[in-house]
Amino acid sequence: MTTGLPGAGPHTLFSAYSGPPNLQNSAYLTQWTLNPWVLAVVVVSGALYLAGVKRVKARGSRWERSRTVLFFGGLGLFAFVCMSFLGSYERILFWPRAVQNTLLMMVVPMLLALGSPLSLMMENCSEGGRLRIERVLRSRPAYLLGFPATVSAVFLSTPFLVYLTPWFEAAMRSDFQNELLRFTLVGVGYYYYWMRLRVDPVPHEYPHMVSVWITFAEAVTDGALGIILMWGSYTVALDYYTALARPWGMSFHQDQLIGGGAIWVVGDLAGLPFIGALWRRMFREDKHEAAAVDTLLDALEIVEHADAAQNPGEEALPEGHLRPWWETDPRFAHRFGASSPENGAS
């Protein structure tokens, strides 16, 4: 009977194990694998991003270096989790695949989203191209996809579907399904962080504090999946791992116990930089809003002094003080017993 790892039937028996050696000691450093699909995506994405940055700078515009660093950090982590020992043992042990899946869905896309690739693309589009993108973002389907409940539902349900349905085992048995799962996780994660971090244009704006509270609620759900995998009676892809006939290492139960714990811990740790990024965005927006208010108040002060110069008979305010805006706004002045310019003229 021939041996092999992917594509084995549910009851295939292996005459001899043909996978990598026991994962211990130097194997963490030496057991790497080349994934042509991942390598191609990393190289092409990096080249397109650098070309976009170069064009933006050639026009004299500014592009934050931190965005480039974060984007390439995401590409580098993507390559690492797919081609390091995590990639070599992704179809041998459960826990490396669990760590890999969690990083692909929760860390890699967060770094990519913080790189603002959509904004970079719009910077390099023609005026017509930018208008088309904006029309798509303002469309009803985009609005529904950007609604917080929709975003959370897609993000939270995906890991449960991966581990508690035949999806995971199908990915173990098929090269195509394996790559499809990999890129699906990155895609779902990117969609989530795009809508939640909002460093790129989004179809639905809502306060960042909403994201903060949603994140705390989501942490409970993330932990629930880890608990189910660690202490539940269900063994993920049992037929596949049994047919693999791995002669070394831990039992199926121990393997899944570690994997479930990794999903829980890595997921919670990944939430920390996400919370940090949310707070940073929130403070930055507050700072911009405060600057806009200061600019408006300065403009009102100039108008106030100009009005005082044109109407010297009016009651003067102490130096450095402004009349409240609602006393001078014709829409509200009558409510507070003050006369608007129009009323004073009549």
Q: How many alpha carbons lie under 13 Å from residue 5 in its C-beta half-sphere?
A: 15
- Positive or negative, the Cα torsion across 138, 143, 148, 151? negative
Answer whether 109's CB lies under 8 Å from 23's CB.
no
- Look at residue 10 in the predicted model and tell me its pLDDT: 42
pLDDT at 175 over 70: yes
Answer whether 61's CB lies under 8 Å from 123's CB.
yes
- Look at residue 218 in the predicted model and tell me its pLDDT: 73
pLDDT at 321 over 70: no
pLDDT mean across residues, the chain: 84
For residues 302-322, give the mean pLDDT.
Answer: 60
Q: How far apart are CA 148 and CA 214, in angstroms?
A: 9
Task: Please tell me which residue, 288 or 125, carries the higher pLDDT value.
Answer: 125
- Look at residue 330 in the predicted model and tell me its pLDDT: 64
Say which range, 37-46, 102-111, 275-284, has the weakest mean pLDDT.
Answer: 275-284
Q: How far apart are CA 99 and CA 108, in angstroms?
A: 12
Per-residue pLDDT tens for 279-298? 676 666 666 666 566 677 66
pLDDT at 322 over 60: no
CA neighbor of 323 nearest in space, from 336, 342, 289, 346: 336
> pTM here?
0.78
